[in-house]
Amino acid sequence: MPGDPREGRIVVVGASLAGLRAAETLREEGFTGSLTVVGDEPHPPYDRPPLSKQVLLGTAAADATGLPMRREADAEWRLGVRATGLDPLGKRVLLADGDSLPYDRLLIATGTRARPWPHPEQAALDGVFTLRTREDAGILAERLAAGPRRVLVIGAGFTGSEIASACRERGVEVTVAERGPGPLVGALGGTLAKLAAGMQRAHGVDLRCGVTVTALRGRNGRFTGADLSDGSRVDADLCVVALGALRNVEWLADAGLAAGPHGVACDAGCRAFTMYGIVTDDVFVAGDVSRFPHPLFEYQMLSLEHWGNAVAQAEVAAHNMVSPGPLRRPHLTVPVFWSSQFGFTIKSVGVPAFSDQVTIAQGTLAERRLVAVYGYRGRVTAAVTLDMAKWLEHYRTLIETAAPFPPGPGAAGGRPLVTDFPIPSDVPDARGLSHGPTVALTGHLPDRRLTVVRSAG
Protein backbone atom coordinates (compact mmCIF):
# COMPACT_ATOMS: atom_id res chain seq x y z
CA MET A 1 0.00 0.00 0.00
CA PRO A 2 1.76 3.14 -1.15
CA GLY A 3 1.77 5.85 1.44
CA ASP A 4 2.20 9.58 1.18
CA PRO A 5 4.76 10.23 -1.61
CA ARG A 6 6.30 12.90 0.61
CA GLU A 7 7.49 10.19 2.96
CA GLY A 8 9.78 7.19 2.57
CA ARG A 9 13.32 6.83 1.25
CA ILE A 10 14.70 8.61 -1.78
CA VAL A 11 18.16 7.97 -3.21
CA VAL A 12 19.67 10.35 -5.76
CA VAL A 13 22.60 8.90 -7.70
CA GLY A 14 24.70 11.76 -9.04
CA ALA A 15 25.92 14.71 -6.97
CA SER A 16 26.38 17.37 -9.58
CA LEU A 17 24.03 20.13 -10.75
CA ALA A 18 20.98 17.92 -11.42
CA GLY A 19 21.44 15.89 -8.22
CA LEU A 20 21.77 19.01 -6.08
CA ARG A 21 18.80 20.82 -7.58
CA ALA A 22 16.67 17.69 -7.28
CA ALA A 23 17.60 17.26 -3.62
CA GLU A 24 16.69 20.87 -2.85
CA THR A 25 13.42 20.66 -4.77
CA LEU A 26 12.40 17.46 -2.99
CA ARG A 27 12.57 19.31 0.32
CA GLU A 28 10.91 22.40 -1.12
CA GLU A 29 8.02 20.21 -2.24
CA GLY A 30 7.57 18.85 1.24
CA PHE A 31 9.48 15.58 1.19
CA THR A 32 10.08 14.64 4.83
CA GLY A 33 11.58 11.17 4.42
CA SER A 34 15.20 10.14 4.26
CA LEU A 35 17.27 11.51 1.40
CA THR A 36 20.66 10.17 0.32
CA VAL A 37 22.76 11.65 -2.49
CA VAL A 38 25.54 9.50 -3.95
CA GLY A 39 28.41 11.00 -5.94
CA ASP A 40 31.50 9.30 -7.35
CA GLU A 41 33.59 12.46 -7.10
CA PRO A 42 34.86 13.29 -3.62
CA HIS A 43 33.61 16.90 -3.82
CA PRO A 44 30.32 18.54 -2.97
CA PRO A 45 28.40 19.59 -6.10
CA TYR A 46 30.34 22.08 -8.21
CA ASP A 47 29.70 24.06 -11.33
CA ARG A 48 31.42 22.88 -14.49
CA PRO A 49 30.97 25.69 -17.05
CA PRO A 50 33.62 27.92 -15.40
CA LEU A 51 36.17 25.11 -15.69
CA SER A 52 36.72 25.75 -19.39
CA LYS A 53 36.55 29.54 -18.95
CA GLN A 54 37.53 31.34 -15.72
CA VAL A 55 39.59 28.43 -14.43
CA LEU A 56 41.65 28.02 -17.61
CA LEU A 57 42.10 31.78 -17.77
CA GLY A 58 43.42 31.69 -14.22
CA THR A 59 40.81 34.09 -12.82
CA ALA A 60 39.17 31.44 -10.61
CA ALA A 61 40.69 28.49 -8.81
CA ALA A 62 39.55 25.05 -9.91
CA ASP A 63 38.26 24.27 -6.42
CA ALA A 64 36.34 27.54 -6.13
CA THR A 65 33.32 26.65 -8.26
CA GLY A 66 31.26 24.86 -5.59
CA LEU A 67 27.57 25.31 -6.32
CA PRO A 68 25.59 27.39 -3.85
CA MET A 69 22.62 25.67 -2.26
CA ARG A 70 19.26 27.34 -2.67
CA ARG A 71 18.15 25.73 0.55
CA GLU A 72 19.38 23.08 2.96
CA ALA A 73 18.66 19.72 1.37
CA ASP A 74 18.94 17.88 4.69
CA ALA A 75 20.48 14.94 2.87
CA GLU A 76 23.10 12.37 3.64
CA TRP A 77 25.89 12.96 1.12
CA ARG A 78 27.75 9.80 0.13
CA LEU A 79 30.59 11.42 -1.80
CA GLY A 80 33.59 9.71 -3.35
CA VAL A 81 31.74 6.45 -3.75
CA ARG A 82 30.52 5.12 -7.07
CA ALA A 83 27.20 3.39 -7.62
CA THR A 84 28.01 0.08 -9.27
CA GLY A 85 24.63 -1.47 -9.77
CA LEU A 86 20.90 -1.29 -9.34
CA ASP A 87 18.56 -4.02 -8.14
CA PRO A 88 15.17 -2.72 -9.29
CA LEU A 89 13.25 -5.62 -7.77
CA GLY A 90 14.89 -5.46 -4.35
CA LYS A 91 14.93 -1.65 -4.76
CA ARG A 92 18.55 -1.15 -3.78
CA VAL A 93 21.46 0.85 -5.19
CA LEU A 94 24.74 -1.04 -4.94
CA LEU A 95 27.84 0.95 -4.06
CA ALA A 96 31.51 0.38 -4.84
CA ASP A 97 32.36 0.14 -1.14
CA GLY A 98 30.11 -2.90 -0.80
CA ASP A 99 27.30 -1.03 0.86
CA SER A 100 23.82 -0.90 -0.63
CA LEU A 101 21.12 1.71 -0.23
CA PRO A 102 17.44 0.78 -0.10
CA TYR A 103 15.03 3.19 -1.78
CA ASP A 104 11.36 3.71 -2.36
CA ARG A 105 12.06 6.10 -5.23
CA LEU A 106 15.32 6.59 -7.09
CA LEU A 107 16.65 9.46 -9.19
CA ILE A 108 19.35 8.68 -11.75
CA ALA A 109 21.45 11.79 -12.41
CA THR A 110 24.85 10.30 -13.16
CA GLY A 111 25.60 12.64 -16.05
CA THR A 112 28.45 12.15 -18.45
CA ARG A 113 32.21 11.90 -18.50
CA ALA A 114 34.75 13.00 -21.07
CA ARG A 115 35.23 10.60 -23.95
CA PRO A 116 38.80 9.41 -23.60
CA TRP A 117 41.36 9.20 -26.38
CA PRO A 118 40.80 5.71 -27.82
CA HIS A 119 44.40 4.50 -27.45
CA PRO A 120 45.14 4.12 -23.72
CA GLU A 121 48.92 4.07 -24.07
CA GLN A 122 48.82 7.35 -26.01
CA ALA A 123 46.26 8.83 -23.62
CA ALA A 124 48.61 8.02 -20.74
CA LEU A 125 51.36 10.31 -22.10
CA ASP A 126 52.20 13.16 -19.77
CA GLY A 127 50.61 16.26 -21.27
CA VAL A 128 47.47 14.59 -22.66
CA PHE A 129 44.29 15.70 -20.94
CA THR A 130 40.54 15.67 -21.07
CA LEU A 131 38.40 18.37 -19.45
CA ARG A 132 35.40 17.44 -17.39
CA THR A 133 36.24 17.47 -13.71
CA ARG A 134 37.66 19.96 -11.24
CA GLU A 135 40.94 17.98 -11.20
CA ASP A 136 41.14 18.04 -15.01
CA ALA A 137 40.70 21.82 -15.03
CA GLY A 138 43.17 22.40 -12.20
CA ILE A 139 46.03 20.53 -13.82
CA LEU A 140 45.32 21.95 -17.26
CA ALA A 141 45.23 25.50 -15.90
CA GLU A 142 48.56 24.88 -14.21
CA ARG A 143 50.12 23.59 -17.41
CA LEU A 144 48.74 26.50 -19.43
CA ALA A 145 50.19 28.93 -16.90
CA ALA A 146 53.59 27.32 -17.36
CA GLY A 147 53.64 28.68 -20.91
CA PRO A 148 53.60 25.74 -23.31
CA ARG A 149 54.83 26.44 -26.83
CA ARG A 150 51.73 24.96 -28.43
CA VAL A 151 48.56 23.19 -27.38
CA LEU A 152 46.75 20.72 -29.61
CA VAL A 153 42.99 20.55 -29.10
CA ILE A 154 41.29 17.55 -30.68
CA GLY A 155 37.66 18.28 -31.44
CA ALA A 156 36.04 21.65 -32.14
CA GLY A 157 32.80 21.33 -30.26
CA PHE A 158 31.90 23.83 -27.54
CA THR A 159 34.41 22.52 -25.02
CA GLY A 160 37.26 22.29 -27.54
CA SER A 161 36.49 25.77 -28.86
CA GLU A 162 36.36 27.26 -25.35
CA ILE A 163 39.71 25.67 -24.53
CA ALA A 164 41.21 27.09 -27.72
CA SER A 165 39.79 30.49 -26.81
CA ALA A 166 41.36 30.35 -23.33
CA CYS A 167 44.71 29.37 -24.85
CA ARG A 168 44.70 32.33 -27.21
CA GLU A 169 43.69 34.70 -24.46
CA ARG A 170 46.66 33.49 -22.46
CA GLY A 171 48.87 34.06 -25.49
CA VAL A 172 49.45 30.35 -26.05
CA GLU A 173 49.67 29.02 -29.61
CA VAL A 174 46.95 26.49 -30.32
CA THR A 175 46.10 24.05 -33.09
CA VAL A 176 42.56 22.70 -33.29
CA ALA A 177 41.91 19.50 -35.25
CA GLU A 178 38.32 18.72 -36.21
CA ARG A 179 37.09 15.86 -38.36
CA GLY A 180 33.95 17.71 -39.49
CA PRO A 181 33.82 20.74 -41.80
CA GLY A 182 33.98 23.38 -39.05
CA PRO A 183 33.81 24.22 -35.35
CA LEU A 184 30.45 23.74 -33.61
CA VAL A 185 28.99 22.28 -36.79
CA GLY A 186 27.22 19.50 -34.90
CA ALA A 187 25.27 21.95 -32.78
CA LEU A 188 24.85 24.90 -35.13
CA GLY A 189 25.07 23.51 -38.67
CA GLY A 190 27.41 24.36 -41.52
CA THR A 191 26.48 28.00 -42.03
CA LEU A 192 27.32 29.14 -38.52
CA ALA A 193 30.30 26.78 -38.45
CA LYS A 194 31.84 28.99 -41.15
CA LEU A 195 31.41 31.98 -38.88
CA ALA A 196 32.92 30.05 -35.96
CA ALA A 197 35.89 29.06 -38.14
CA GLY A 198 36.43 32.70 -39.06
CA MET A 199 36.30 33.71 -35.37
CA GLN A 200 38.90 31.11 -34.44
CA ARG A 201 41.26 32.06 -37.24
CA ALA A 202 40.86 35.77 -36.55
CA HIS A 203 42.06 35.03 -33.02
CA GLY A 204 45.12 33.21 -34.26
CA VAL A 205 43.95 29.63 -33.88
CA ASP A 206 45.60 27.20 -36.29
CA LEU A 207 42.33 25.51 -37.23
CA ARG A 208 42.47 22.30 -39.25
CA CYS A 209 39.12 20.93 -40.38
CA GLY A 210 38.36 17.75 -42.26
CA VAL A 211 41.25 15.98 -40.59
CA THR A 212 41.57 13.39 -37.87
CA VAL A 213 44.41 12.84 -35.48
CA THR A 214 45.84 9.42 -36.25
CA ALA A 215 48.38 9.12 -33.45
CA LEU A 216 49.67 11.00 -30.42
CA ARG A 217 53.46 10.92 -30.22
CA GLY A 218 55.64 11.08 -27.16
CA ARG A 219 59.22 10.89 -26.01
CA ASN A 220 60.18 9.50 -22.61
CA GLY A 221 56.54 9.35 -21.68
CA ARG A 222 55.88 13.00 -22.52
CA PHE A 223 53.53 14.14 -25.25
CA THR A 224 55.44 15.82 -28.09
CA GLY A 225 52.99 16.05 -30.97
CA ALA A 226 50.48 14.30 -33.19
CA ASP A 227 50.13 12.89 -36.67
CA LEU A 228 47.15 14.06 -38.72
CA SER A 229 45.30 12.15 -41.41
CA ASP A 230 46.43 14.60 -44.11
CA GLY A 231 50.02 13.52 -43.52
CA SER A 232 50.97 16.61 -41.53
CA ARG A 233 52.39 16.66 -38.03
CA VAL A 234 51.70 19.05 -35.17
CA ASP A 235 54.42 19.61 -32.58
CA ALA A 236 52.91 20.56 -29.24
CA ASP A 237 53.56 20.30 -25.50
CA LEU A 238 49.98 19.73 -24.42
CA CYS A 239 47.05 17.92 -25.95
CA VAL A 240 43.44 18.30 -24.87
CA VAL A 241 41.12 15.59 -26.09
CA ALA A 242 37.69 17.21 -26.52
CA LEU A 243 35.78 14.43 -28.23
CA GLY A 244 32.48 14.94 -26.48
CA ALA A 245 30.96 13.01 -23.63
CA LEU A 246 30.01 9.48 -22.71
CA ARG A 247 26.93 8.88 -20.60
CA ASN A 248 27.49 7.22 -17.26
CA VAL A 249 25.17 4.27 -17.73
CA GLU A 250 27.48 1.28 -17.25
CA TRP A 251 26.33 0.78 -13.66
CA LEU A 252 22.82 0.19 -15.02
CA ALA A 253 23.87 -2.64 -17.38
CA ASP A 254 21.96 -5.29 -15.43
CA ALA A 255 19.15 -3.08 -14.20
CA GLY A 256 16.76 -3.83 -17.06
CA LEU A 257 16.33 -0.17 -17.93
CA ALA A 258 16.35 1.40 -21.40
CA ALA A 259 19.90 2.58 -20.81
CA GLY A 260 22.46 2.81 -23.57
CA PRO A 261 25.03 5.07 -25.21
CA HIS A 262 22.43 7.82 -25.73
CA GLY A 263 21.41 7.76 -22.08
CA VAL A 264 18.54 6.45 -19.99
CA ALA A 265 15.19 6.82 -21.72
CA CYS A 266 12.39 8.34 -19.70
CA ASP A 267 8.92 9.74 -20.30
CA ALA A 268 7.95 13.40 -20.26
CA GLY A 269 7.52 13.07 -16.50
CA CYS A 270 11.14 11.88 -16.07
CA ARG A 271 10.12 8.29 -15.25
CA ALA A 272 12.60 5.75 -16.61
CA PHE A 273 11.59 3.17 -19.20
CA THR A 274 12.57 -0.45 -18.86
CA MET A 275 14.34 -2.12 -21.77
CA TYR A 276 10.90 -3.31 -22.94
CA GLY A 277 9.66 0.26 -23.17
CA ILE A 278 7.47 -0.07 -20.08
CA VAL A 279 7.50 2.99 -17.88
CA THR A 280 8.58 2.57 -14.26
CA ASP A 281 7.03 4.51 -11.43
CA ASP A 282 9.85 4.46 -8.90
CA VAL A 283 12.91 5.22 -11.03
CA PHE A 284 13.33 8.77 -12.35
CA VAL A 285 16.01 10.34 -14.56
CA ALA A 286 17.32 13.89 -14.93
CA GLY A 287 20.19 15.80 -16.48
CA ASP A 288 22.79 14.87 -19.08
CA VAL A 289 22.24 11.13 -18.65
CA SER A 290 18.57 11.33 -19.61
CA ARG A 291 16.88 10.92 -22.93
CA PHE A 292 13.35 12.20 -23.14
CA PRO A 293 10.60 12.88 -25.68
CA HIS A 294 9.80 16.48 -26.62
CA PRO A 295 6.55 17.43 -28.36
CA LEU A 296 8.12 20.44 -30.13
CA PHE A 297 10.53 18.10 -31.85
CA GLU A 298 8.04 15.46 -32.99
CA TYR A 299 8.36 13.56 -29.72
CA GLN A 300 11.82 12.43 -30.70
CA MET A 301 13.99 11.44 -27.80
CA LEU A 302 16.35 14.30 -26.94
CA SER A 303 19.68 14.00 -25.15
CA LEU A 304 20.86 17.39 -23.94
CA GLU A 305 24.12 18.28 -22.26
CA HIS A 306 22.83 21.63 -21.10
CA TRP A 307 23.17 23.35 -17.75
CA GLY A 308 19.64 24.72 -17.95
CA ASN A 309 18.18 21.35 -18.81
CA ALA A 310 19.84 19.74 -15.80
CA VAL A 311 18.18 22.32 -13.55
CA ALA A 312 14.75 22.26 -15.19
CA GLN A 313 14.55 18.50 -15.51
CA ALA A 314 15.78 17.90 -11.97
CA GLU A 315 13.05 20.19 -10.66
CA VAL A 316 10.35 18.38 -12.64
CA ALA A 317 11.68 14.95 -11.65
CA ALA A 318 11.79 15.93 -7.98
CA HIS A 319 8.28 17.36 -8.11
CA ASN A 320 6.95 14.20 -9.73
CA MET A 321 8.75 11.95 -7.24
CA VAL A 322 6.74 13.42 -4.40
CA SER A 323 3.43 14.09 -6.17
CA PRO A 324 0.49 11.81 -6.87
CA GLY A 325 -0.12 11.04 -10.58
CA PRO A 326 -2.62 13.76 -11.54
CA LEU A 327 -0.42 16.47 -10.01
CA ARG A 328 2.70 15.48 -11.93
CA ARG A 329 4.19 17.83 -14.49
CA PRO A 330 5.81 17.23 -17.88
CA HIS A 331 9.34 18.39 -18.66
CA LEU A 332 8.63 20.60 -21.66
CA THR A 333 11.27 23.31 -21.33
CA VAL A 334 12.63 24.55 -24.63
CA PRO A 335 16.36 23.72 -24.66
CA VAL A 336 18.65 26.70 -24.10
CA PHE A 337 22.39 26.59 -24.32
CA TRP A 338 25.21 29.11 -24.09
CA SER A 339 28.92 29.23 -24.72
CA SER A 340 31.40 32.03 -24.43
CA GLN A 341 34.49 32.01 -26.57
CA PHE A 342 36.77 34.50 -28.30
CA GLY A 343 34.99 37.33 -26.53
CA PHE A 344 31.53 36.40 -27.83
CA THR A 345 28.49 34.84 -26.24
CA ILE A 346 26.75 32.27 -28.36
CA LYS A 347 23.30 31.25 -27.19
CA SER A 348 20.96 28.77 -28.68
CA VAL A 349 17.27 28.15 -28.03
CA GLY A 350 15.40 25.19 -29.44
CA VAL A 351 17.27 22.48 -31.33
CA PRO A 352 19.26 23.84 -34.29
CA ALA A 353 20.06 20.29 -35.38
CA PHE A 354 16.32 19.78 -35.86
CA SER A 355 16.18 21.94 -38.96
CA ASP A 356 16.45 21.96 -42.69
CA GLN A 357 16.91 25.68 -43.29
CA VAL A 358 18.44 28.69 -41.60
CA THR A 359 18.18 32.42 -42.16
CA ILE A 360 19.94 35.39 -40.60
CA ALA A 361 17.07 37.35 -39.06
CA GLN A 362 19.04 40.16 -37.40
CA GLY A 363 22.59 41.46 -37.51
CA THR A 364 25.19 40.29 -39.99
CA LEU A 365 28.04 37.84 -40.22
CA ALA A 366 30.37 40.77 -40.84
CA GLU A 367 29.59 42.65 -37.61
CA ARG A 368 29.65 39.35 -35.67
CA ARG A 369 26.38 40.16 -34.02
CA LEU A 370 23.43 38.26 -35.28
CA VAL A 371 20.44 36.04 -34.78
CA ALA A 372 20.20 32.95 -36.95
CA VAL A 373 16.75 31.37 -37.08
CA TYR A 374 16.36 27.72 -37.96
CA GLY A 375 13.30 26.11 -39.51
CA TYR A 376 12.07 22.65 -40.15
CA ARG A 377 9.34 22.04 -42.73
CA GLY A 378 8.11 25.58 -42.50
CA ARG A 379 8.14 26.23 -38.78
CA VAL A 380 10.67 27.83 -36.45
CA THR A 381 12.55 25.21 -34.42
CA ALA A 382 15.61 27.05 -33.11
CA ALA A 383 17.50 30.33 -32.96
CA VAL A 384 21.13 31.07 -32.28
CA THR A 385 22.27 34.48 -31.09
CA LEU A 386 25.77 35.85 -31.25
CA ASP A 387 26.07 38.73 -28.78
CA MET A 388 22.33 39.40 -29.06
CA ALA A 389 21.14 37.48 -26.01
CA LYS A 390 18.29 39.88 -25.29
CA TRP A 391 16.47 38.48 -28.30
CA LEU A 392 16.49 34.90 -27.12
CA GLU A 393 13.14 35.12 -25.29
CA HIS A 394 11.43 36.42 -28.38
CA TYR A 395 12.58 33.50 -30.46
CA ARG A 396 11.74 31.05 -27.72
CA THR A 397 8.14 32.22 -28.04
CA LEU A 398 8.24 31.69 -31.80
CA ILE A 399 9.50 28.13 -31.24
CA GLU A 400 6.91 27.38 -28.57
CA THR A 401 4.11 28.59 -30.80
CA ALA A 402 5.44 26.77 -33.88
CA ALA A 403 5.61 30.09 -35.74
CA PRO A 404 6.00 29.85 -39.51
CA PHE A 405 9.46 29.74 -41.01
CA PRO A 406 10.94 31.89 -42.42
CA PRO A 407 9.75 34.25 -39.69
CA GLY A 408 7.87 37.38 -40.76
CA PRO A 409 9.29 40.91 -40.45
CA GLY A 410 7.90 41.16 -36.91
CA ALA A 411 10.39 38.51 -35.87
CA ALA A 412 13.20 40.95 -36.49
CA GLY A 413 11.76 43.67 -34.32
CA GLY A 414 9.89 45.38 -37.15
CA ARG A 415 12.92 45.48 -39.43
CA PRO A 416 13.09 43.43 -42.60
CA LEU A 417 14.97 40.19 -42.47
CA VAL A 418 18.60 40.50 -43.36
CA THR A 419 18.48 37.56 -45.70
CA ASP A 420 15.20 37.28 -47.58
CA PHE A 421 15.69 33.68 -48.47
CA PRO A 422 16.66 30.86 -46.16
CA ILE A 423 19.54 28.56 -46.99
CA PRO A 424 20.08 24.95 -45.99
CA SER A 425 21.09 24.70 -42.35
CA ASP A 426 23.51 21.98 -43.34
CA VAL A 427 23.38 19.94 -40.16
CA PRO A 428 25.77 17.02 -40.55
CA ASP A 429 25.45 13.47 -39.35
CA ALA A 430 26.95 13.58 -35.88
CA ARG A 431 28.93 10.42 -36.60
CA GLY A 432 31.24 12.41 -38.87
CA LEU A 433 32.40 14.82 -36.16
CA SER A 434 35.31 14.79 -33.77
CA HIS A 435 33.22 16.42 -31.11
CA GLY A 436 29.94 15.00 -29.91
CA PRO A 437 26.99 17.31 -30.44
CA THR A 438 25.64 18.71 -27.20
CA VAL A 439 22.14 17.95 -28.41
CA ALA A 440 21.40 14.61 -29.98
CA LEU A 441 18.16 13.59 -31.61
CA THR A 442 18.24 9.94 -30.84
CA GLY A 443 15.12 8.85 -32.68
CA HIS A 444 11.80 7.48 -31.56
CA LEU A 445 12.84 4.00 -30.52
CA PRO A 446 14.23 3.14 -27.14
CA ASP A 447 17.78 1.83 -27.39
CA ARG A 448 17.69 -1.73 -28.57
CA ARG A 449 21.02 -2.50 -26.98
CA LEU A 450 20.52 -4.44 -23.82
CA THR A 451 24.17 -4.33 -22.86
CA VAL A 452 26.43 -1.34 -22.75
CA VAL A 453 29.41 -1.40 -25.05
CA ARG A 454 32.27 -0.15 -22.96
CA SER A 455 34.73 2.07 -24.76
CA ALA A 456 38.29 0.87 -25.08
CA GLY A 457 39.46 3.72 -22.85
Partner 1 sequence: MRIVVDLTRCQAYAQCVFLAPQVFELHGEEVLLYRPDVPEEQLDRVRQAIAACPVQAILAGEEVNADAR
**Residue 413 binds partner 1, judged by CB under 8 A:** no
Question: For partner 1, which is the closer residue by CB, 390 or 431?
Answer: 390
Q: Does 170 bind partner 1 (CB under 8 A)?
A: no
Say what the alpha-carbon torsion angle 204, 208, 214, 216 is, to the nearest 10 degrees: 0
Considering beta carbons, is residue 41 or 282 the nearer one to partner 1?
Answer: 41
Question: Based on CB atoms, which residue is closest to partner 1, 129 or 342?
Answer: 342
Is residue 285 at the binding interface for partner 1, with CB under 8 A as the rule?
Answer: no
Shortest Å distance, C-beta 347 to partner 1: 8
Selected from 68, 90, 98, 171, the binder of partner 1 by CB under 8 A is 68
Site for partner 1 in 306-335 (CB under 8 A): 307-308, 311
Among 65, 133, 175, 357, which residue sits at the site for partner 1 (rule: CB under 8 A)? 65
Strands 263-265 and 290-294: parallel
The Cα 264–Cα 111 span in angstroms is 10
Among candidates 368, 329, 372, which has minimal Cα distance to 350? 372
Beta-carbon contacts of 310 under 8 Å, excluding residues fewer than 6 positions away, are 16, 17, 18, 21, 109, 111, 286, 287, 288
Quick one: which segment of 45-53, 122-130, 249-257, 320-328 binds partner 1 (CB under 8 A)? 45-53
Q: For partner 1, which stretch binds (CB under 8 A), given 69-77, 116-124, 225-233, 252-260?
A: 69-77
Query: Which residue in 5, 8, 14, 45 binds partner 1 (CB under 8 A)?
Result: 45
Residue number with CB closer to partner 1 (155 or 335): 335
The per-residue DSSP string of 245-260 comes to: EEE--GGGTTTTBSEE
Q: How far is the CB of 77 from partner 1 (least distance, A)?
A: 4
Is 202 near partner 1 (CB under 8 A)? no
Strand order of the β-sheet with 423-424 is: 336-341, 344-350, 379-386, 369-376, 357-364, 423-424
200 scored as a contact of partner 1 (CB under 8 A) = no
Cα 149 to Cα 172: distance, rounded to the nearest angstrom: 7
* Residue 344 binds partner 1, judged by CB under 8 A: yes
Q: Does 119 bind partner 1 (CB under 8 A)?
A: no
Q: Residue 341 in contact with residue 153, Cβ under 8 Å? A: no
Site size for partner 1, by CB under 8 A? 40
CB of 305 to partner 1, least distance (A): 13
Strand order of the sheet with strand 271-273?
Answer: 76-79, 34-39, 9-13, 105-108, 279-285, 271-273
Report the side by side order of strands in the sheet with 173-178: 128-129, 238-241, 150-154, 173-178, 206-209
The CB density around residue 172, as the number of other CB atoms within 10 Å, is 21
Q: Which residues bind partner 1 (CB under 8 A)?
A: 20, 44-45, 47, 49-50, 53-54, 57, 59-61, 64-70, 73-74, 76-77, 79, 307-308, 311, 336-338, 340, 343-345, 347, 369, 387, 389-390, 392
